[in-house]
């Protein structure tokens, strides 16, 4: 089982590279049980989406649509 330090590191890395199957399984198992890491993963994903939205120039008075 991953600790929170490792899980948040993997969650961040997942935004930059494809995780191995074992990394994904371990991360998913951890975030299924850890609300803090689940929140962190969601926030990292949201920040990345917002950054892409605003960097694309689309952020002129609009807000990004949250994907569920």
pLDDT digit string (tens) for 9-66? 999 999 899 999 999 999 999 999 999 999 999 999 999 888 888 887 765 666 656 6
What burial letters (b/e) apply to 9-30, b meaning 16+ CB within 10 Å? ebbeebeeeebeeebeebbeeb
Rg (CA), the chain: 14
Q: What's residue 56's pLDDT?
A: 78
Q: What's residue 51's pLDDT?
A: 86
pLDDT tops 60 at residue 68: no
CA–CA gap between residue 63 and residue 5 (Å, rounded): 32
Q: What's residue 1's pLDDT?
A: 83
User: What is the helix (H) or strand (E) element at residue 66, kind and residue range?
Assistant: none
Q: Which residue has the higher pLDDT, 28 or 1?
A: 28
Tokens, residue 10: 């993997």
Tokens, residue 22: 């074992």
């Amino acid at each position: 089982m991953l600790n929170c330090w490792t899980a948040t590191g993997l969650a961040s890395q997942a935004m930059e590279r494809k995780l191995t199957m074992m990394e994904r399984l371990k991360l998913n198992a951890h975030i299924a049980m850890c609300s803090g890491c689940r929140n962190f993963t969601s926030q990292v994903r949201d920040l990345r989406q917002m950054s892409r939205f605003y960097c694309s120039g689309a952020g002129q008075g609009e807000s990004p649509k949250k994907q569920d």
